[in-house]
């Protein structure tokens, strides 16, 4: 989705022992973990350093600095691989997104968008789109920014999330009405948002946009935008997190209520370096490299050791400083500075890279992703 933070590959081998209950890494660091609910032993996996991680519905996929991709969980609703399995037809990816249980990959060679419903199948290229620079997916649609700044969308258009009137389309069509080239993009259940001319603009239905025409959603300049179920969050120029939209699960950071919120700063969150919005929850990496999450917590996706209907921003206990955080349908993962990935939340399809668990993982555990 964005330029790699680490252009040189770095091998990282990780093994998880369910016998000792300890996590071992190649630098001899040990972290206590609770594997009581995991179904079986997981083998050692070696990957290049992780560039990005995307969480879908029952599936999670990684993008390495070498362009290789791998997934765990029920990709396309197929039998769930419980250890990371490579997308063999996508060896040179430059971007990655998850449309529910489908993976979309931007090919590094020409920027075409290719979808995958399984780790073994051949991907399907999206007609009408090439030279992609960033890509984002909602439940049933996908949008991408081309290298020239234009935005194209395809998929279901029930809420006008494609930025136009009319029905669904498997062919990428341009979004009109943006004041300038787009520099960042996010897609959710019912809408799509971009950063254009330094502000967040959205279209679609639900609580996000106002139909097919891009509408400015922020009164302050934005650098990044992320979209969840019926809410969105953006990172302001002053590195603050502001959210808007539905708040029935406290996903905009306030106490849960039925009031749709306008863009406001999330309480108990200072300046941040990363933010992501899931289905009904969100997480951020603060400037001190700690992680906080807020919103729905029925599957432990806030990572604070319990299950609750909702919570305001809570701290996530990680064994080291984080550089990125990702929020999925009912899951969350953090990428640490040493490149280890810790995940928590729903895991009944093995989507956390921890093996299979019949009950939610309510605290961070070392993932094979």
Q: Could you tell me if residue 211 is inside a domain?
A: yes
Question: CA–CA separation, 205 vs 264, rounded Å?
Answer: 20
pLDDT tens digit at each of 369 positions of the chain: 333 333 323 223 333 322 222 222 333 222 333 333 333 334 444 567 899 999 999 999 999 998 999 999 988 877 667 788 888 766 689 999 999 889 999 998 899 999 998 887 778 999 999 899 999 999 999 999 999 999 999 999 999 999 999 999 999 999 999 999 999 999 999 999 999 999 999 999 877 877 899 999 877 899 999 999 999 999 999 999 999 999 999 999 988 888 777 889 999 999 999 999 999 999 999 999 999 999 999 999 999 999 999 999 999 999 999 999 999 999 999 999 999 999 999 999 999 999 888 899 999 999 999
Look at the block and give the residue holding tokens 């050791």: 305
User: What phi and psi values does residue 292 have, to the nearest 5 degrees?
Assistant: -130, 145
The pLDDT value given to residue 6: 30
Q: Could you tell me if residue 318 is inside a domain?
A: yes
The pLDDT value given to residue 255: 86
Q: Could you tell me if residue 3 is inside a domain?
A: no
Question: CA–CA separation, 209 vs 159, rounded Å?
Answer: 9
Residue 128 is classified by DSSP as T
Name the residue among 88, 105, 85 with its Cα closest to residue 96. Answer: 105
Structure tokens belonging to residue 53: 């991680």
Owning domain of residue 201: 12-366
Q: Could you tell me if residue 88 is inside a domain?
A: yes
The CA-atom distances, in angstroms, between 186 and each of 60, 202, 226 are 17, 9, 5
Name 308's Cβ contacts closer than 8 Å, sequence gap at least 6.
297, 298, 302
CB of 41 closer than 8 Å to CB of 20: no
The pLDDT value given to residue 46: 56
The pLDDT value given to residue 7: 32
- CATH classification at residue 242: 2.130.10.30
Q: Could you tell me if residue 98 is inside a domain?
A: yes
Structure tokens belonging to residue 174: 């341009």
Q: Could you tell me if residue 205 is inside a domain?
A: yes
Question: CA–CA separation, 353 vs 364, rounded Å?
Answer: 12
The pLDDT value given to residue 36: 31
Question: CA–CA separation, 48 vs 143, rounded Å?
Answer: 27
Helix/strand/coil for 179: coil
Q: Could you tell me if residue 1 is inside a domain?
A: no
The pLDDT value given to residue 86: 86
Q: Could you tell me if residue 6 is inside a domain?
A: no
First-to-last alpha carbon distance for the chain, in angstroms, is: 18
CA gyration radius, the chain: 19
Give the total number of structural domains in the chain. 1
């Amino acid at each position: 989705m964005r330029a790699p933070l680490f252009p040189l590959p770095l091998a990282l081998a990780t093994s998880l022992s369910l016998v000792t209950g300890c996590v071992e890494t190649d630098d001899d660091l040990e972290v206590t973990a609770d594997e009581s609910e995991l179904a079986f032993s997981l083998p050692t996996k070696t990957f290049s350093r992780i560039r990005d991680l995307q969480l879908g519905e029952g599936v999670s996929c990684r993008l390495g600095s070498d362009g290789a991709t791998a997934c765990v969980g029920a990709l396309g609703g197929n039998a769930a691989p419980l250890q990371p399995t490579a997308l063999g037809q996508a060896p040179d990816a430059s971007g990655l997104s998850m449309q529910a249980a489908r993976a979309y990959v931007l090919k590094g060679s020409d920027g075409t968008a290719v979808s995958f419903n399984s780790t073994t199948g051949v991907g399907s290229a999206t007609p009408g789109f090439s030279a992609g620079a960033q890509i984002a997916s909602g439940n049933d649609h996908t949008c991408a920014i081309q290298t020239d700044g234009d935005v194209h969308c395809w998929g279901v258009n029930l809420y006008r999330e494609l930025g136009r009137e009319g029905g669904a389309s498997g062919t990428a069509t341009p979004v009109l009405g943006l004041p300038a080239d787009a520099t960042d993009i996010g897609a959710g259940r019912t809408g799509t948002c971009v950063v254009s001319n330094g502000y967040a603009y959205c279209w679609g239905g639900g609580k996000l946009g106002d139909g097919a025409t891009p509408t400015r959603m922020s009164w302050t300049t934005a650098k990044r935008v992320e979209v969840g179920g019926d809410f969105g969050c953006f990172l302001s120029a002053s590195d603050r997190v502001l959210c808007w939209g539905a708040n029935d699960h406290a996903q905009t950071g306030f106490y849960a209520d039925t009031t749709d919120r306008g863009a406001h700063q999330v309480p108990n969150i200072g300046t941040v370096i990363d933010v992501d919005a899931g289905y009904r929850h969100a997480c951020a990496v603060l400037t001190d490299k700690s992680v906080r999450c807020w919103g729905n917590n029925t599957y432990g996706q806030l990572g604070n050791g319990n299950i609750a209907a909702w919570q305001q921003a809570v701290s996530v206990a990680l064994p080291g400083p984080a550089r990125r955080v990702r929020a999925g349908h009912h899951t969350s993962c953090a990428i640490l500075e040493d490149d280890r990935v810790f995940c928590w939340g729903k895991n009944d399809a093995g989507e956390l890279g921890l093996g299979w668990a019949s009950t939610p993982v309510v605290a961070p555990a070392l993932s094979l992703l």
